[in-house]
Every structure is written in structure tokens, then in C-alpha cells.
Amino acid sequence: MTAGRFVALLVLLIWSYLLLGRGLFWLPRIVKAAPALKASPRIVAVVPARDEAATIGAAVTSLLKQEYAGEFSIVLVDDHSSDGTGRIAHEAAAALGLANRLRVVAAPPLADGWSGKLWAMAAGVRTADEGGAPDAYLFTDADIAHHPRNLSELAARLETGYDLVSLMVKLHCRSLAERFMIPAFVYFFAMLYPFAWASDPRKRLAAAAGGCMLLRRTAFERIGGLESVKGELIDDCALARAVKRGGRIWLGLTHDTVSLREYPDLASIWNMIARTAYAQLNYSVLILIATVLGLGITFLSPIVVLPSGRLATALAIGAWLVMSVTYAPMLRFYGVSIVYAPLLPAVAAVYLAATVASAWRHWRGRGGVWKGRVSWQSRP
């Protein structure tokens, strides 16, 4: 067997496994109606915010407009913003006549050993607990617009026996760069962390989406709070792993709760990937090499071996076709034409290059940069 035929056969087998054997990750696990909420636990939303003037008003408004029967309030942690984030949040709450349900606190200086976001979240938890610890914490980002029933539906799922319920919100996908890259971002996440497996108590795999997580307080205390994951850049999945070791978690995908953050060009998406990709690989050179090889073989080799002979070409086209078929549902979820499906190898090449760039930034002491701040892991 020639090298071309071998590689083509190998990648077709890989895609056959991904099609059928990895939790059907490629079928979007879109959230369905939650069961009726029997009780309404006391919930406090903790929102870390750093220079979020463009989105914080809409995010706070969506939280204050929740159709929730229980006691619900918001703690916004202004993480050394320079653009009036805290003031804009106050104005949004005041415009609804609900300023009493929002507390804006300043994040203390970043402590050694903590990532910036988690340090801000910890400050928010301390503030939330001042009036008596709530039954659950809603950890959500400052660029998320929640649909009116979101909190009630999350609480209803928590009530069925979960300790952590999380939603992968719908990301902004309008610009050409977003249509090219964003559906693949969620597709790759689901490939790494199949939602069905993350939600299955029989599987060790755990994952969450940090933009929207409702966490039971008793589980939060059991894992040792945020201090147990304080240095993690991929904080949501680290938190999910900690919770799942002694409890149950659930992860879903939603049309209705959305991210307001825009990515107008390829550079902005590149920086989003490069900021944390190497952290996802546990800062391991060996895992980086394995990832480059894995992405190269899985997504790029079908194109490379196309001219390697009739059989190799047929096998490579088969693999490329399966790849495209698995990508099409995520494109449809985002309202993007399935014409983009055969372009997945090109998208994967960009993600691969950004992952290598992420490692390079880390080695230079510039990994994890977010709005002018370098995470503690990356400081020289």
C-alpha cells in the first residue's frame, strides 16, 4: 500500500469514528423546554466585567428583566475598567427602576496565583454572600444577553438533580470573518467535549461554557470554591471537572441567550483563539505536537493526498465528504450556508496556526493577554 493510500484510508477511518463514535458531537444539542420549576431558589448573578461599556447595559438589562419568581440580584465586579463600565451598568438598572437589585463592586488588585477573571468572580462571590449565602450562583459574562425565561429554565434543570447547569450561548455570527470561523469554534468545542458525554454521569469527561453557568452553592462549597481552580485560564471546564467528580453536570446549546461580542475581522478571532489555546493543552509541548499532527492528519491530509492515485483520491474525497456532512448542522444552527462546509480544512488550518501562535506567545511571556493584562501563568 502506498503512503497516499494509507493516509487516505486512515483519515477515512478517523472520520467514520467521529461520525458515529464520539457522542454524535456534530448534531447540535439544542436546549429543549425545561421542566416546570417547583421551587424558586435564591440566586445571585456574579458578572465579572473589564472595559465592557459596549455590552454591559444590554447584559444587565437582560438579567433584570428575568421572569423569575424567586429572589434574584446581581453583583457586577468592575475589574479596573477605564471606560465607565460600572456607571453604565448602574444607569441601565436605574432606567428600569431596579437599581436596588444591582451591586457594583471594584475588584481588588490581582493576587498571585489567580487568573484575572476568577479573581474578579471570587470578589463577586464574597459580596454575594454578605447578606447570607444564596442557594445558587449564576456566573455569567458581561457580554451575554439572556432571554427572559433563561434563569427559570436553568433553575428548573438544577432542581432535577444537577449541581451545575451551563449553556453554550449563541455567538455573534454576522461578519464574513464570523461566518467563516465562529461555527467551527463551537464545532471544535463539541468535538473536544461532546455535550452528551459531558452531561452523562457515566462519563468522566466534563465541560461547561463560562458565559452562562448556574452552580448550586453546596457543590461550590464542596469543591473548595473558586480557589480550587484559581489559576485556570480555561476556568469553565476546570470548574465542571471539579464539580463532576462528586456530582452531576449538564451542558446544552441555545438559540435564545446570545453573546453580544462582535468579531469584525479575522484578527480579532485569531486573538481570541491564541489567548487560551495553549492553556487548553496544559502548556505541554508534547500535547502541542500531538495536536498539530492530529489536526493536520484529520483535517488537512484529505486535501494533501488527493492527487496520490485513484484509490487514494476516492478515499480522501470520502473523508472530506464525511467531514463536510458533520459540519453542516452547525452551519445551519448559525444560519450560514452549507456551501461553507467543504471549507472546513481551511478553517482548521487557521485554528492550527493560531494554536501554535498561542504557544509562541506563552513562551515569550505574553500568553493569556486580555484587555491589557497578562495572566499570572504567562509573566516572565
Within 235-309, residue ranges assigned H as helices are 235-244, 266-280, 285-295, 301-304
Q: Quick one: average pLDDT of 290-316?
A: 93
Domain 43-262 has CATH 3.90.550.10: yes
Cβ-proximal residues to 114 (8 Å cutoff; 6+ apart), any chain: 122, 230, 231, 376
Asked if the model's pLDDT at residue 178 lies above 50, the reply is yes
What's the pLDDT score for residue 376?
Answer: 43
Nearest alpha-carbon partner for 45 in 64, 21, 26, 18: 64
Asked if the model's pLDDT at residue 3 lies above 90, the reply is no
Domain boundaries for CATH 3.90.550.10 within the chain: 43-262
* pLDDT confidence band for 367 (50 / 70 / 90): low
Asked if the model's pLDDT at residue 322 lies above 60, the reply is yes
Question: Cα(164)–Cα(155) distance, rounded to whole angstroms?
Answer: 10
- Where does residue 39 rank: exposed (0-12), middle (13-18), buried (19+ CB within 10 A)? exposed
pTM of the model: 0.91
* pLDDT confidence band for 379 (50 / 70 / 90): very low
Question: Cα(184)–Cα(165) distance, rounded to whole angstroms?
Answer: 23
Nearest alpha-carbon partner for 3 in 258, 268, 315: 315
Cβ atoms of 138 and 76 closer than 8 Å:
no
Cβ atoms of 103 and 127 closer than 8 Å:
yes
More confident site: 377 or 273: 273
* Site of grid cell 457594583: 104
* pLDDT confidence band for 370 (50 / 70 / 90): low
